[in-house]
Amino acid sequence: MIDVHIHAVPPNLPGVGSLSALLREPVEVVAAQLRREMQTAGVTHAFAMGAWQAGDDDPLGVNRTLAVAPFVPGLRPIGVMDPTRTDDEHFRRAELILASGVVVALKGYLGYLHYEPAHPNYRRYYELAAKYKVPVMFHTGDTYSPQAKLKYAHPLGVDEVAVDHPDCKFVMCHLGNPWMTDAAEVIYKNVNVWADLSGLMVGDDGAFATDEARESMAELGHAVARAMRYSERPNRFLYGTDWPLAPMTAYREFVKLLVPEEQHAQVFEENARVLFRV
């Protein structure tokens, strides 16, 4: 099982805290908890989002994730695209990291950062992603920050760059929730767009067991099922949790309810192996 969307470090975004107190703990503590969760849930690979504006010596914000990775087999970092940076030296450093092969994808925090996907400041990242054959992931949908602007996080913005950058592969995180049907249309129309199912519910194990949670699961199940039918592309959906915002085992069971059983193998593993070349 491949979890394409977790956090091993605080994202350092405007209006967002650490996501979880755990992510402020020493590397060894984070690694031990993550390793336990992965083993219990049967996750063999996990891809972790980096940190925004981590410093000139860490242009993609992956250094702390790389410090955790030796303690967690299967953990790989995802670099963060920074549309506030346009200088050649930044991109030279970013390209060196991509060329090394340690980064499995790039991430754009739409909404949290007030830049639409088609903003010119993202173009060089798309060119690098195409060159080094890594997908570009976008936060889409609801945000965790009152400072975010939702118009930038709408999944329809991904349609523009999917058309303008056909050699690049794009992932809409969270299936654009609550705009899941809009996200499904973007997948249906564009052969270079995927979506992950992370972060549709958050909370601890207890929160996933409440009557309210069961009602939410049923509502989300209908929405995800409709999106998958509408897109006609079950090979474009990816499993992710958004850990530590959701426990891995409880979220695995939740997604099993959302996705038709005949598509479990694709969503939980096969699609990710193809897209991320695992």
In this prediction, residues 256-267 reach a mean pLDDT of 95
At residue 205, what is the residue type? D
Q: Distance (Å, rounded) from C-alpha 84 to C-alpha 239?
A: 30
Evaluate if residue 134 carries a pLDDT over 90.
yes
pLDDT band for 124, please (50, 70, 90 cuts).
Answer: very high
* Residue 234 near residue 191, CB atoms below 8 Å: no
Domain boundaries, the chain: 2-276
Q: What percent of the chain has pLDDT over 90?
A: 98
Evaluate if residue 40 carries a pLDDT over 90.
yes
pLDDT digits (tens, 9 = 90+) for 187-230: 999 999 999 999 999 999 999 999 999 999 999 999 999 999 99
pLDDT digits (tens, 9 = 90+) for 169-195: 999 999 999 999 999 999 999 999 999
Give the end-to-end CA distance of the chain in Å, rounded to a whole number: 12
In DSSP notation, 39-61 reads HHHT--EEEEE--TT--TT-TTS
| Structure confidence at residue 17 (pLDDT) | 84
Q: What percent of the chain has pLDDT over 70?
A: 100
Evaluate if residue 133 carries a pLDDT over 90.
yes
pTM beyond 0.95: yes
| Structure confidence at residue 159 (pLDDT) | 98
| Maximum separation of any 2 CA atoms in the chain, in Å | 53
| Structure confidence at residue 18 (pLDDT) | 87
Q: Distance (Å, rounded) from C-alpha 116 to C-alpha 188?
A: 21
Contacts of residues 265-270 at CB distance under 8 Å and 24 or more positions apart, as own/partner, are 266/234, 266/235, 266/237, 267/197, 267/234, 267/237, 267/238, 267/239, 268/1, 268/2, 268/239, 269/1, 269/2, 269/239, 270/235
| Structure confidence at residue 52 (pLDDT) | 97
Q: Which residues pair with 139 in a beta bridge?
A: 173
Overall fold of domain 2-276: TIM Barrel (3.20.20)
Q: Verify cis geometry, omega within 30 degrees of 0, for the bond prior to 178.
A: yes
Q: Distance (Å, rounded) from C-alpha 83 to C-alpha 74?
A: 29
Evaluate if residue 262 carries a pLDDT over 90.
yes
| Structure confidence at residue 144 (pLDDT) | 87
Query: How high is the mean pLDDT of the chain?
Result: 97
SS3 state at 170 = strand
How far CA 151 is from CA of 7, 111, 114, 178, 222, in Å, comes to 24, 7, 9, 13, 25
